[in-house]
Amino acid sequence: MKRFVRLECLAGLGFGLLMLLSNLANAAGVHQHGLADAAVVVEGQSLTVSFRAPLMDILGTEQPPADAAARVRYADRLKQVSEPLPSPVAGCRLSHETRSGVAALFPESQQHDPDHAHHEHSHHADVEAEWTFQCQSPDKLSDVTLPFLAIFSGLATEVILLLPDGQSALRLAPGNTRIPLE
């Protein structure tokens, strides 16, 4: 039995709350390699897609970059977590984007203190991204594609959907890039 929540009650949800909802869908919100979280919210003409995955699944490591060349490699890999593709017929344009970067994940000041870097990164870190689109015809949104999931094909993705019709959840198998909104 699906439980629906009216979107008027969810107005103004921020990234933190979306990730909290996503954590609730994931068993106890535990950081698990091979499992990402996503949320898709359609409210009015706004489409927001948020994504979080273990750093290990994106970079292949959770260790700080050893040098400037490694920082560049890490940055290039993080850029592969690219903009989602909403249904073209909906006429959506990206209006805002935030993504984890190397500087936030691995501040350079910590690179010179091996003890601090070890303690700071002995826990599991996550890559986070959020995109907001303005859509001319949000009623024509039938899906959102996360093209980067083809690159990170080992990730299963738990998805929370907050749509005009109600709330639901689904799980994308590894390599599946399409989130149906119908």
Task: State the Cα–Cα distance between residues 150 and 153, nearest whole angstrom.
Answer: 5
Tokens of 118: 């070890």
Query: Bigger pLDDT: 44 or 123?
Result: 44
The full set of domain ranges for the chain reads: 7-180
Contacts of 90 (CB under 8 A, 6+ apart): 47, 135, 136, 137, 138, 139, 140, 141
Residue 85 pLDDT more than 70? yes
Task: Say what percent of the chain tops pLDDT 90.
Answer: 65
Query: For 70, how many CA atoms within 13 A lie in the half-sphere containing its CB?
Result: 12
What is the structure's pLDDT at 34? 87
What is the structure's pLDDT at 109? 59
Task: State the Cα–Cα distance between residues 147 and 82, nearest whole angstrom.
Answer: 7
Q: What is the pLDDT of residues 73-82, one digit of tens each?
A: 999 999 999 9
Average pLDDT, the chain: 81
Residue 5 pLDDT more than 50? no
